[in-house]
Structure 1
Amino acid sequence: MNDITQFLFLHGYSILFAGVFLSQAGIPIPAVPLLITAGTIAGMGQMDLYVALFVAFTASTISDIFRYYLGRRLGNRVLVLLCRLSLEPDSCVRQTEDLFGRHGVKSLVYCKFVPGLDAVVASMSGIIQMRFSRFIAFNSMGTLLWVASYIGVGYIFSDALDDLLLYAGHMGKTFFWLLMAALVIYIAWKYVRRVQFIRELSISRITPEALKSKLDAGEDIAIIDLRSSLDFKADPYTIPGAIRMAPENLTRRENISLDQEVVLYCT
């Protein structure tokens, strides 16, 4: 038995609980590999399958309840803070609001399968003042489905995954550094994309005062309101003449003339 596998055998439940809890709290820790590994170890007879399911379910639920009450108490500030921890904070808030706007409470059932959204949907439930009984019912269904799916995969394919764990153990430091290098490259790529996006925004940004001056001067400007349905319900006012449109519909150029200057705004 290699050192890595032995460490997982000895501290499996603690690692599983901590990893799932931190992941659902918004810390960028991949919980899925932990769940699959827990299922693999259970398939090898070194961990109880039902205890592993209970530990993962409990860790996720405690974290979700904590974030639900933070959302009820602090509002959008919690959502913004959690999204800052993600690799794509600019799209995180929007995706969460769109998800709730389209599917409502049902999004709690499958949001944990959507990377980047699993850690913020519980807070959104609190922000919109969803009843706790309704939240906990749908969240529990989603959590159980998420936990059982990945632990089940590890359990069913435990023989093949056991060979992978043994190979990783034999690779030792080489495997670890290869994994770290891949993670660093991925984060660096996301960071470069974010910097480029912010740079493009800073170049083409217009102030409210400048926009008002253009409108007062009679310039032909197409103003597009990109706010989500939740944001619009909270503040149902818009710039006179603005067209409400979802970001994904921009490429269709509906109601937008190519001869016009276009101004986009959101929250």
Structure 2
Amino acid sequence: MDIAPLTEALQRDAVWVVFVNVLLQQLGLPIPAVPTLLIAGSLAGAFGPAAQMLMAAVLASLIADGFWYSAGRAFGYRVLSGLCRLSINPGSCVSETEGRFMRWGAWSLVIAKFVPGFSTVAPPIAGSLRMPLAGFMAAAGLGAALWAGAALLGGWLLRAQLQSVLAVMSRHAGTAIAVIAAGLGAGLAWKLWQRHRFKQLAVMPYITPVELMAALESDTPPLLLDFRGAALLAQTGPIAGATPAHMDDLPRTVSHWPRDRPVVTLCACPDDATAVRAALSLMKLRYTSVRPLKGGYDAWLRHLDQQAR
């Protein structure tokens, strides 16, 4: 297999190749754009073509970010939950990504492109939190320019080495494809192992919404920790008697609670990921009775709806 035609196509239509590749990646497809940007940068012979590639990358990124911003503004946390469900790693869930955005503010959009798994979820979070559109576009555009510009510049600075690599790949295409496939396979295996490990850790007693409702109405109600993010809390309001919490300050939040008091954790994450992690952390802090809410906030809402009928 000769990759020279591919290189020639990139030289001839670099702007469009960069635009399409970045757009598809930022929309959430597993198509890495950095290798394309590096090669495109190595093939840019002058400032003009490089500037066009940069503008194409920024425009594509802004189109994708604008789409996810609008989706987040219209549908709120349901978009975030859907995106997180596409991730093999259940740790990539709504409350954690939203908490990161709340801590970093607009700067999270500037650095989002450099954080794997965060670049796609940051725009819908901004939309769900009603971040002003002008500020969002400015921060997202700056982040896209820094990210794409760094990759293009890196490709230009390493153009001799990249051209040598491309030449070797052209002569030994079969071996190169095997190495790339092995790398992709190793990455997938790592993610699947992470999910398997999480499933093992998640083997613990849960509490159902019916059991939680009965416990809350008893003489010794459990302490309830709510790990939903600010966007969902703003949309749906707090749960009566629940304490809003975040993983980063969990020890401080529960520092005054007796360790023999029952504790229930809940979140709005796929696989109850944050609720499970919080329960494990509380067990390490020697809390003797901790259970995540099975099905999380969605299951709790369904139970309330059934009761109201």
Q: Provide the TM-score with structure 1 as the length reference.
A: 0.85
1:14 aligns with 2:16: yes
Which residue is 1:265 aligned to? 266
1:28 aligns with 2:30: yes
Deviates more, 1:55-64 or 1:88-97: 88-97
1:258, distance to aligned residue in structure 2 (A):
4.1
**Conserved? CA contact 1:24–1:60, under 8 Å:** yes
- CA–CA distance in 1 between the matches of 2:257 and 2:227? 14
Which residue is 1:185 aligned to? 186
Change in Cα spacing, 1:123 to 1:225, as seen in structure 2 (3 Å) is: closer
Percent sequence identity over aligned pairs: 33
Letter aligned with residue 33 of structure 1: P
**Conserved? CA contact 2:26–2:61, under 8 Å:** yes
**Conserved? CA contact 1:53–1:151, under 8 Å:** yes
Letter aligned with residue 234 of structure 1: Q
Which residue is 1:153 aligned to? 154
- CA–CA distance in 2 between the matches of 1:218 and 1:198? 34
Which residue is 1:48 aligned to? 49
Letter aligned with residue 58 of structure 1: L
1:168, distance to aligned residue in structure 2 (A):
2.5
**Conserved? CA contact 1:82–1:120, under 8 Å:** yes
Letter aligned with residue 247 of structure 1: M
Which residue is 1:245 aligned to? 245
CA RMSD of aligned residues (A): 2.8
1:185, distance to aligned residue in structure 2 (A):
2.4
1:215, distance to aligned residue in structure 2 (A):
4.3
Letter aligned with residue 22 of structure 2: V
Letter aligned with residue 42 of structure 1: A
1:89, distance to aligned residue in structure 2 (A):
4.8
- SS of match in other structure, 1:264: strand
**Aligned pairs (5 A) from 1:1-267:** 2-3=3-4, 4-42=6-44, 48-198=49-199, 200-201=201-202, 203-219=204-220, 221-240=222-241, 242-250=242-250, 254-267=255-268
Q: Provide the TM-score with structure 2 as the length reference.
A: 0.74
1:256, distance to aligned residue in structure 2 (A):
4.6
Deviates more, 1:82-91 or 1:121-130: 82-91
- SS of match in other structure, 2:106: helix
**Conserved? CA contact 1:108–1:142, under 8 Å:** yes
Q: Structure 2: 5+ residue runs without aligned partners?
A: 269-309
Deviates more, 1:119-128 or 1:257-266: 257-266
Q: How many residues align?
A: 265
**Conserved? CA contact 2:26–2:120, under 8 Å:** yes
**Conserved? CA contact 1:17–1:56, under 8 Å:** yes
Change in Cα spacing, 1:258 to 1:166, as seen in structure 2 (3 Å) is: farther
Which residue is 2:272 aligned to? none
